[in-house]
Amino acid sequence: MHYLTRPCWLGWILVGGDPGFERLAADAVRLVKAPGAPVDLPLDPRGTAFEQRVWQALRDIPIGSTAAYSDIATRIGEPHASREVAQACAANPLAVVIPCHRVVRRDGTLGGYRWGTRRKRALLAREAAGRAAS
């Protein structure tokens, strides 16, 4: 199978000659460009029971919105586990699908992001623009 890379606003993406791969890649790109768009990606994120609870809470954050690490901790019934929530965000293997970029510090500043704060800022700006246009 032959794969090439090409630039994308988030970095580089793979482009192959296999139609199944092309569809999966297109769905992944569509998810970045239009959060909430229906996609059919075969996903199986692996994590601890705590991480799974955090990741589900992240998927419940509305597109274009943010929540503090402490808010997520409270939502999952662990109000003193803000740092553990941050660690679960860092362990998230599926950026954008599990939107850990929507989690910020209590004071509203970005906080960390496994894929860099520049990407986090860009994702949040794209979602906010899409929400404002709706």
Q: Are residues 22 and 86 in the same domain?
A: no
**What is the distance between the alpha carbons of residues 71 and 103, in angstroms, rounded to a whole number?**
9
In a domain, 87, yes or no: yes
pLDDT given at position 117: 94
**What is the distance between the alpha carbons of residues 92 and 45, in angstroms, rounded to a whole number?**
8
In a domain, 82, yes or no: yes
Q: Which CATH number belongs to the domain containing residue 99 in this structure?
A: 1.10.10.10
Q: How many domains does the chain have?
A: 2
Q: Are residues 64 and 116 in the same domain?
A: yes
What's the domain range around 96?
49-133
- Residue 131 has a CB neighbour count (10 Å cut-off) of 14
Is residue 100 annotated as a catalytic residue, yes or no? Answer: yes
Q: Are residues 85 and 54 in the same domain?
A: yes
**What is the distance between the alpha carbons of residues 66 and 124, in angstroms, rounded to a whole number?**
8
Q: Are residues 53 and 10 in the same domain?
A: no
pLDDT given at position 2: 42
Q: Look at the chain and count its residues.
A: 134
pLDDT given at position 84: 97
pLDDT given at position 1: 39
Distances (CA, A) of 41 to 15, 46, 124, 131: 16, 15, 22, 24
pLDDT given at position 97: 83
Q: Are residues 55 and 85 in the same domain?
A: yes
pLDDT given at position 11: 56
pLDDT given at position 121: 94
Q: Are residues 29 and 95 in the same domain?
A: no
Q: Are residues 53 and 107 in the same domain?
A: yes
Q: Are residues 20 and 67 in the same domain?
A: no
In a domain, 43, yes or no: no
What does each of the 134 residues of the chain score in pLDDT, given as a tens digit?
344 455 555 555 555 567 777 777 777 777 777 776 666 667 778 899 999 999 999 999 998 999 999 999 999 999 999 999 999 999 998 887 889 999 999 999 999 898 899 999 999 998 888 777 76
Q: Give the active site residue among 100, 103, 123, 124.
A: 100
